[in-house]
C-alpha cells in the first residue's frame, strides 16, 4: 500500500503516525508517468500495465496453442500459484530479495507449467530426457522462428537455478544476471524488462502459430 506523506499528515491521527513509520519503505526509481499526471497534474492518464499485458499474452497463446495442437501448451494455474499470478507486481524496494520474490512466479507459470505432451506430438517425438525448454525452442523453430524467441525463458531458468531467484546468492549469480540482461538495472527496471521480453516472446509465438492455422481458425 502506498500513501503520500501529505495525506498521512492531513487524514491520519498523530498517534497512528508511529505505526506507519515502522512500515515505511523508501521509494525506488521514478514515479510512473500516468500516476504522476493523475495525482499531481489532475489530468486523465492511463498507467502502463506490464504484468497485465503478460497475463493477457499467456492467455491468448494458450488459446491459440489449443487450436493448433489440440491441447493447451500451458497448464491451467490453480490455487496459490493462480493467486500470485493474478496479483503479480514489481518489487517495491532495493533489496535483492524483493526482485527474487517478484520474479519467482515467472519460471513457475511460464516454464514449469509447460505441458510437454502436445509439443512431443507436434514434433513427432523427443530426445530421451528432453525438457520443456528444449521442446519449446524446437517447436518455435519448426513454426519458423529464426530469432530464438524463447531464449528469455532459458536465461530466466538459469537465473533461478544459479542463485538469482531461488537463493540469496551464488557464485554464478552475476553471470546469470548478465545473461538475463538486467545488469545495472534497478529492481523495478529488471522486473519490467524480463516481463516485457516474455510478453514479446508470447506474442511472437502467437503470430507463428496463427500462421499455421487454417484461415477460418486464426
The pTM of this model reads 0.77
Instruction: Say what the pLDDT of residue 86 is.
Output: 93
CB of 201 closer than 8 Å to CB of 149: yes
Tell whether 31 and 134 lie within a shared domain. Answer: no
CB of 139 closer than 8 Å to CB of 122: yes
Tell whether 29 and 58 lie within a shared domain. Answer: no
pLDDT in tens, 129-142: 899 999 999 999 99
Coil/strand/helix, residue 114: strand
Tell whether 24 and 117 lie within a shared domain. Answer: no
Instruction: Say what the pLDDT of residue 67 is.
Output: 96
Domain residues for 124?
A: 50-217
Reported as type and span, the H/E element at residue 5 is helix 5-11
Tell whether 67 and 85 lie within a shared domain. Answer: yes
Tell whether 18 and 113 lie within a shared domain. Answer: no
Tell whether 115 and 213 lie within a shared domain. Answer: yes
Tell whether 64 and 34 lie within a shared domain. Answer: no
CB of 166 closer than 8 Å to CB of 148: no
Tell whether 78 and 59 lie within a shared domain. Answer: yes
The DSSP output letter for 108 is: I
Instruction: Say what the pLDDT of residue 150 is.
Output: 97
Instruction: Say what the pLDDT of residue 47 is.
Output: 60
List CB contacts of 148: < 8 A, sequence separation 6 or more.
137, 140
The DSSP output letter for 110 is: I
Give the chain's domain count: 2
Tell whether 54 and 17 lie within a shared domain. Answer: no
Instruction: Say what the pLDDT of residue 43 is.
Output: 62
Say which residue, 30 or 13, is predicted with more confidence. Answer: 13
CB of 67 closer than 8 Å to CB of 122: no
Instruction: Say what the pLDDT of residue 79 is.
Output: 95
pLDDT in tens, 21-70: 777 777 665 666 556 665 666 666 556 789 999 999 999 999 999 999 99
CB of 96 closer than 8 Å to CB of 149: no
CB of 111 closer than 8 Å to CB of 207: no
Tell whether 85 and 151 lie within a shared domain. Answer: yes
Tell whether 147 and 185 lie within a shared domain. Answer: yes
List CB contacts of 89: < 8 A, sequence separation 6 or more.
51, 102
Tell whether 37 and 63 lie within a shared domain. Answer: no
CB of 136 closer than 8 Å to CB of 150: yes
C-alpha triplet 42, 43, 47: angle, nearest 5°: 115
Three-state SS letters, 162-174: CCCCCCCCCCCHH
Amino acid at each position: 500500500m502506498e500513501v503520500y506523506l501529505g495525506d498521512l499528515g492531513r487524514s491520519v491521527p498523530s498517534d497512528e503516525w508511529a505505526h506507519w513509520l515502522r512500515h515505511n519503505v523508501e521509494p525506488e526509481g521514478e514515479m510512473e508517468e500516468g500516476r504522476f499526471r493523475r495525482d499531481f497534474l489532475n489530468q486523465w492518464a492511463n498507467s502502463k500495465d506490464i504484468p497485465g499485458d503478460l497475463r493477457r499474452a499467456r492467455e491468448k497463446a494458450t488459446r491459440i496453442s489449443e487450436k493448433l495442437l489440440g491441447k493447451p501448451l500451458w497448464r491451467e494455474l490453480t490455487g496459490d500459484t493462480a493467486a500470485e499470478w493474478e496479483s503479480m507486481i514489481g518489487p517495491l524496494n532495493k533489496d535483492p530479495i524483493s526482485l527474487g520474490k517478484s520474479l519467482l512466479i515467472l519460471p513457475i507459470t511460464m516454464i514449469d507449467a509447460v505441458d510437454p505432451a502436445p509439443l512431443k506430438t507436434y514434433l513427432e517425438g523427443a530426445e530421451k530426457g528432453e525438457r520443456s525448454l528444449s521442446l519449446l525452442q524446437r517447436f518455435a523453430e519448426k513454426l519458423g522462428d529464426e530469432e530464438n524467441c524463447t531464449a528469455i525463458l532459458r536465461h530466466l531458468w538459469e537465473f533461478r537455478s544459479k542463485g538469482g531467484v531461488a537463493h540469496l546468492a551464488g557464485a554464478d549469480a552475476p553471470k546469470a544476471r548478465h545473461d538475463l540482461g538486467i545488469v545495472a538495472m534497478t529492481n523495478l527496471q529488471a522486473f519490467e524488462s524480463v516481463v516485457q521480453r516474455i510478453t514479446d516472446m508470447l506474442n511472437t509465438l502467437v503470430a507463428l502459430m496463427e500462421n499455421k492455422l487454417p484461415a477460418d481458425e486464426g
